[in-house]
Structure 1
């Protein structure tokens, strides 16, 4: 397992939030292309993307065209990339200093050369008040500085992707790992063989770079149907149960050991995810069997 390059928690919350919003808008090019040109899937995962360790970038679905391609975003420099087979770069555009519209114009022109109907690509609409507003939505230009904040964000996705890859190899009912454009969270969903009131028992495991629940990065493990909060077991370390609007075990980035190395931070996150997963499975099965 590759150790991340930087410690988590070294960047100020303000800088990290701004970089997170820049990244959140940058990946909308991946989602828009997937929504317009990829084969539609019932769970909308054709608009999602994954982490590509070889490219060190977020990479979307393969799009059929005269020359098949994928749309990618390199997070540290906020560079929009078109990728062919074998991770070969077809074309790229640094988004720094460009507006969302300028990036879309470039993307449409570049994809038309590959034989794709690029006129179909439009940015996704999200429910009102459910996607972060930002000057980028109002013709401001991308700003890829400070790079160290984007580097820390990238490392959190690298850490989480590696840990989730391990989890899905040991849980046969785990979904593929997706990064979702709506909330920029990376997650897998484990479906258990039991049901509760006709609903399948599931556990979502993932990472959010920050949202309305917590303005800082955090890892979560969420059992569903949501269990009775009176039955929630004690979690070890600094982890706790979130119970407002959704129920899940949470470990915030600020709760990672201050004196740890990058490697021990990764181990701390892995210990949390696995312990919370086991606790969630036990809790769901217990309530289902008891008819709670």
Structure 2
């Protein structure tokens, strides 16, 4: 496992432009999975994963005469086609390219691999529920913030093994997935019991930033949402988010003041573990099992 890379070297709220460009760039992966991967009920065929060896975002494996996966190098903003051995088949640097140019390249390259590239189209999201950016109107990708891109990649690289540790010791936890809609990386834990007709779940995730917080943050969200009037205190500088959704939150700006891997990793790990225990306890105390 790769050692924790120190983060928050760049002010977390200075990552917004790079985060938005990455969010748009991963749409090529999601579009390919949606069009060509075997559909799954939870839509995970549209999701991505973090590849810890190549240090790229990677999509679903696509069955074709020449099987492949679409990947994105987040630091170089490079779109990559990988074969079954995770070797590069073709690559397109996105800086200087528009979304339309990237899609045209992807369609042509995939057609050479024996699939119908014309099936690939960008996903439609609900109005006002996907970040706006000049890339949506024909602007080109820009890599002038390479340090910020690398910093964002480290958030995912650092967090992925923490989630894997949770999954390994927790029953009924899904694989870690990165969702193209909100660009969050998360695992969902299913608990026994039902409340008000809904299964009991806890989502454990990392967001690179969104309309809730203009910076990366970790979250642990129990569902159905507990009563916000009696939420217990959180340690490790976490707090409860209660607007529109309920969850324990640790923003990047609250990481240990001594910016070092030795301080950051145990803080994030302890926050996730404690918030998970608290969330499970809240659901169990409020939710007698229903048959």
TM-score w.r.t. length of structure 1: 0.97
* Superposition pairs of residues 142-291 of structure 1, within 5 angstroms: 142-289=141-288
**TM superposition shift of 1:237:** 2.6
Consecutive unaligned residues of structure 1, counting only runs of 5 or more, are: none
Distance of 2:289 and 2:73 partners within structure 1: 48
**Contact 1:3–1:263 (CA under 8 A) maintained in structure 2:** no
1:264 Cα offset (Å): 2.2
User: How far is 1:4 from its partner?
Assistant: 3.2
1:59-70 equivalences in 2 (<5 Å): 59-70=58-69
More deviation, 206-215/254-263: 254-263
Deviation of 1:102 (Å): 0.8
Alignment of 1:23-42 (within 5 A): 23-42=22-41
- Checking the alignment, whether the CA contact within 8 Å between 2:192 and 2:289 is kept in structure 1 is no
2:12–2:216 contact (8 Å) kept in structure 1: no
Secondary structure of the equivalent of 1:85?
coil
Aligned to 1:187, the other structure's residue is in SS state strand
Instruction: Quote how far apart the aligned CAs of 1:14 are.
Output: 5.2
Matched, 1:137 2:136: yes
CA RMSD between the two structures:
1.3
Q: Deviations over 1:136-193 (max 9, x none)?
A: 1111110122111011100000111110000000012101111000000000000001
* 2:81 counterpart SS class: strand
Contact 1:249 1:276 in 2 (8 A): yes
Q: C-alpha distance in 2, partners of 1:13/1:272?
A: 19
TM-score (norm 2): 0.97
Q: Which stretches in structure 2 are left out of the alignment for 5+ residues?
A: none
Separation in 2 of the partners of 1:290 and 1:229? 21
Q: How many residues align?
A: 290
Cross-structure match for 1:50: 49
SS at match of 2:211: coil
1:13 Cα deviation (Å)? Answer: 4.3
SS in 2 for 1:210: coil
Secondary structure at the counterpart of residue 33 of structure 1: helix
Q: What is the deviation of 1:290?
A: 9.7
